[in-house]
Copies of this chain bind each other. A is one copy, B any other.
């Protein structure tokens, strides 16, 4: 029996807006979860199953019939079975003719099959209207009602009306349909839930690698060296002092790496004299992960800011201050204000604050909802102009702060350069080349190339 126990139907028992019956093929986990949810939303549900004996697991208000009878009761059939069993549907082709088939399947691996499951289904049953949907929704979330994550449900298909019917169901379940166009998009939609931050992998590994290298470098120079040659145990530097040296260095290098591929692209275009040849693959990939590099750089910069601001709260800092003041007091003298030092300390703090401020602005404009509200001209202004300004401020901040170490010979423990020197190589190189690139004699041909002009048309043949 098909009883509608939902609240909505109870409230409007005689309205003509009765929901159309939905058929679900397959009584697996997702089929049952979706059925429960559909019944809650006021849809009569019919299951198509090999064994029509009523299982305990199937929602009480649903009917269970054989596949053919179930399919006849509904205009929409949700195919909640796995791709490898799709061929059992071919004998049902006549019953399914003209019906809307909703493919909700997922694969276990990216691009597991040559064509998407939905396209395969459409090939098997050319008389039916196949719509891909629901594959990004988790059965567990449907069941528990905790749809905290994205409520967006991708929908694609070749038949506009069939898509509309599926999108209405999606909306009735409290989700937001997103039309992704024709069934060709099914491949992309099927790959989507298998991804785990694919764009973030390389930037994260790179930054963790850099961080690990600089961490060990600092441990060697600041803890091991000091312990061996000065017999001081500064092992507690591992907690704050060294992270606070590693974070700014990694942040600065990553920020420079955001702008380096643009420099390479400009040089390649100038050398080739055309923009109509593809960049090498590594450069293309690098350019596509600039946003991620920038955001990781911002994370490291933020850690640096907090690590720096807690300095006065550290027992070590408090002990060092006491020691300095007491030694002055015991010598009965007060040192006058060192103006050079005051200038230097205030300058690098101010430069760092301004650089970080611009950096945070860049991060905010990277939020999808913000970047969707700016046009290209505005986006380019923020990301390029403000981005370079942030890089200049941050590089200057490091130069002013680390400057004193460059010349002092005592800084070269074990003849190794200080990490400030290492951190400045890439940013300074980027800024110098960029400075050359904005000279009119270089900028003009580059602009012309980017507008479509070609020096040697032979390249594009």
Q: Which A residues contact B (CB, under 8 angstroms)? A: 8, 11-12, 14-17, 19, 28-29, 32, 42, 56-57, 114-115, 119, 122-123, 126, 136-138, 140-141, 143-146, 148-152, 158, 160, 164, 167-168, 171-172, 179-185, 187, 192-197, 233, 235-236, 239-241, 243, 265, 275-276, 279, 284, 287-288, 290-291, 299, 302-303, 305-316, 318-319, 321-330, 332, 334-335, 337-339, 341-347, 349-350, 353, 356-357, 361, 367-381, 383, 450-452, 454, 457, 460-461
Is there contact, CB below 8 Å, between A32 and B452?
yes
CB-CB under 8 A for A194 and B377, given A8-B187, A350-B239, A368-B370: yes
| Shortest Cβ distance from residue A321 to the other chain B in the assembled complex, whole angstroms | 7
Q: Which residues does chain B contribute within 8 Å of A160, judged by CB atoms?
A: 164
Q: Which residues does chain B contribute within 8 Å of A327, judged by CB atoms?
A: 334
Q: How far is the CA of A57 from the CA of B112 in the complex (A)?
A: 36
Contact of A357 among B299, B338, B347, B353 (CB under 8 A): B299
A-B contact pairs, 9 of them (CB 8 A): A17-B184, A57-B454, A143-B275, A146-B287, A150-B373, A150-B374, A196-B381, A311-B313, A369-B369
Nearest-CB residue, chain B, relative to A33: B452
Contact of A307 among B12, B339, B353, B461 (CB under 8 A): B353
Contact of A12 among B119, B309, B370 (CB under 8 A): B119
| Number of identical protomers | 3
Q: Which residues does chain B contribute within 8 Å of A42, judged by CB atoms?
A: 184
Nearest-CB residue, chain B, relative to A16: B126
Is there contact, CB below 8 Å, between B346 and A316?
yes
Is there contact, CB below 8 Å, between A375 and B136?
yes
Q: Which residues does chain B contribute within 8 Å of A149, judged by CB atoms?
A: 371, 374-376, 379-380, 383
Is there contact, CB below 8 Å, between B152 and A372?
yes
Q: Which residues does chain B contribute within 8 Å of A342, judged by CB atoms?
A: 236, 314-316, 319
Q: How far is the CA of A119 from the CA of B18 in the complex (A)?
A: 12
| Shortest Cβ distance from residue A374 to the other chain B in the assembled complex, whole angstroms | 7
Q: Which residues does chain B contribute within 8 Å of A305, judged by CB atoms?
A: 306
Is there contact, CB below 8 Å, between B460 and A56?
yes
Nearest-CB residue, chain B, relative to A451: B29
CB-CB under 8 A for A148 and B383, given A236-B346, A452-B29: yes
User: Lowest 10 CB-CB distances: which A-B pairs, in order?
Assistant: A369-B369, A171-B181, A149-B379, A239-B346, A315-B345, A29-B452, A312-B312, A368-B369, A239-B350, A236-B343
| Shortest Cβ distance from residue A301 to the other chain B in the assembled complex, whole angstroms | 12
Q: A12-B114, A239-B350 are in contact. List 4 more A-B contacts (CB 8 A).
A: A149-B374, A171-B185, A243-B350, A325-B325
Q: Which residues does chain B contribute within 8 Å of A183, judged by CB atoms?
A: 17
Is there contact, CB below 8 Å, between A148 and B196?
no
Is there contact, CB below 8 Å, between A240 and B310?
no
Q: How far is the CA of A313 from the CA of B308 in the complex (A)?
A: 9
| Shortest Cβ distance from residue A194 to the other chain B in the assembled complex, whole angstroms | 7
| Shortest Cβ distance from residue A208 to the other chain B in the assembled complex, whole angstroms | 14
Is there contact, CB below 8 Å, between B291 and A315?
no
Is there contact, CB below 8 Å, between B457 and A56?
yes
| Shortest Cβ distance from residue A120 to the other chain B in the assembled complex, whole angstroms | 9
Q: How far is the CA of A179 from the CA of B155 in the complex (A)?
A: 15
Q: Which residues does chain B contribute within 8 Å of A461, judged by CB atoms?
A: 56
Contact of A196 among B307, B378, B460 (CB under 8 A): B378
Is there contact, CB below 8 Å, between A323 and B315?
no
Q: How far is the CA of A275 from the CA of B144 in the complex (A)?
A: 9
Is there contact, CB below 8 Å, between B122 and A15?
yes
Is there contact, CB below 8 Å, between A11 and B353?
no
